[in-house]
Amino acid sequence: MKLTLKSCCALLVLIMPLSCVQISQANAAADPSFSSLMEITNKATLEARNSDEGEYCSYQNYKSTVSYSRPPEIYSGSDGDLWVFVDDGTTGFPGEQTNYFWDSSSWIHAPMMDDASTQFGDYAHQNDAIVRRAQKSEGGFQCVISGLLKLEFWGQEPPAKYSGMVGDLYINFDSRFHDAQLYYIWSGSKWIANLENPYTLAHAVATRTKDGEFCIYGKNKDVYSAYYSAPPSSYKGVKGDLWIVADKTNGRAVSTSYWDGKSWLKDGAPGADALKKINDAVQYKARNSATGEVCHAGTNISAQTFSAKLPTVYKGKANDRWIVMDKKGEKSNIYYYWTGKSWVLN
């Protein structure tokens, strides 16, 4: 749960007619991978956030900007405009975000506000309402990223007919679950779906059920669920089991608790650290095995393991995942997806 959530092909090529090989190569060229296209989008995003203009989104008179620079002192915009400052690491907190709202004369942000003030909260709610209204509109919520577009829609699949730039990003916010964001990138001729999309949706559905999304490693178990407001007191498990309660609306974790054999101890409570060490040790051992730590989101299965030896014989369902993790936690996880016949990278 805690993520820091082919040999037969060569033979087929040898026996296929040359014309078939050429057609396959043409199709491969026409359909680049999601990750290769994402490199184009990420490069544009980096350039935009480093620029004076930033990565900006607009809807009617409203504007929001994401930048590696703090908001300009001289600004001509609408009351409630948002400026998101992202630390690029120069101040020691890489990736940390600070939200600023324009109040017609100056920028305000939470640390500067009196605890009793509701102005920042009012702007935050106003921002959410505007963005949601834009996502539900005919044109969606549109963002400009160094000439590329990021289009956000509420419950709408990308259009079959589209004319845009290679690297344009389309995000479909599932109308049932705020945390289910399905990504597509324009290749120049078609939308290429993120292979993670089915699992993203499966995760959102599973966390709202009684069983939640759960992982098995050794005799221990993790559960991630928004079904309960607190871990169930009537529980049959082993010492060190982990239960994460999520928010029913946005899917984010609210609390983390460990099972001591009789009751749940919240993370940080006396005795919880010892249980966490048990959990970590068993989880590490499982990830070091051939089967790994196995997680279930409904009928979708995901294995989290340190092993890059993917099973050649697999009887799972299409969209199951195999996640190769780095033991030291220094490298990014590598995600493989089962097509029904073979494992593929995103």
- Cα distance between the two ends of the chain: 20
Note the pLDDT tens digit of each residue in 6-60: 333 322 222 222 222 233 333 445 579 999 999 999 999 999 999 999 999 999 9
CA distance 60 to 310: 50
Whole-prediction pTM value? 0.83
Note the pLDDT tens digit of each residue in 125-159: 999 999 999 999 999 999 999 999 999 999 999 99
Q: CB–CB of 142/57 below 8 Å?
A: yes
Q: Which two tokens stand for residue 195?
A: 């292979």
pLDDT value for 31: 79
pLDDT value for 112: 63
Backbone φ and ψ of 184, nearest 5°: -140, 145
Q: How far is CA 68 from CA 48, 92, 171, in A?
A: 9, 13, 23
Q: CB–CB of 272/258 below 8 Å?
A: yes
Identify which of 281, 259, 346 has the alpha carbon closest to the alpha carbon of residue 293.
281
Q: With 90 as the cut, is the pLDDT of residue 269 above it?
A: yes
User: Span 99-127, mean pLDDT?
Assistant: 81
* 150: Cα separation from own chain's centroid: 16
Q: CB–CB of 99/110 below 8 Å?
A: yes
CA distance 62 to 79: 8
SS (H, E, C) the chain: CCCCCCHHHHHHHHHCCHHHHHHHHHHHHHCCCHHHHHHHHHHHHHHHHHCCCCEEEEECCEEEEEECCCCCCCCCCCCCCEEEEECCCCCCCCCCEEEEEECCCCEECHHHCCCCCCHHHHHHHHHHHHHHHHHCCCCCEEEEECCEEEEEEECCCCCCCCCCCCCCEEEEECCCCCCCEEEEEECCCCEEECCCHHHHHHHHHHHCCCCCEEEEECCEEEEEECCCCCCCCCCCCCCCCEEEEECCCCCCEEEEEEECCCCEEECCCCCHHHHHHHHHHHHHHHHCCCCCEEEEECCEEEEEECCCCCCCCCCCCCCCEEEECCCCCCCCCEEEEECCCCEEEC
Number of Cβ atoms within 10 Å of the Cβ of 62: 20
pLDDT value for 13: 25
Q: With 50 as the cut, is the pLDDT of residue 190 above it?
A: yes
Note the pLDDT tens digit of each residue in 296-328: 999 999 999 999 999 988 988 999 999 999 998
Note the pLDDT tens digit of each residue in 153-187: 999 999 999 999 999 999 999 999 988 999 999 99
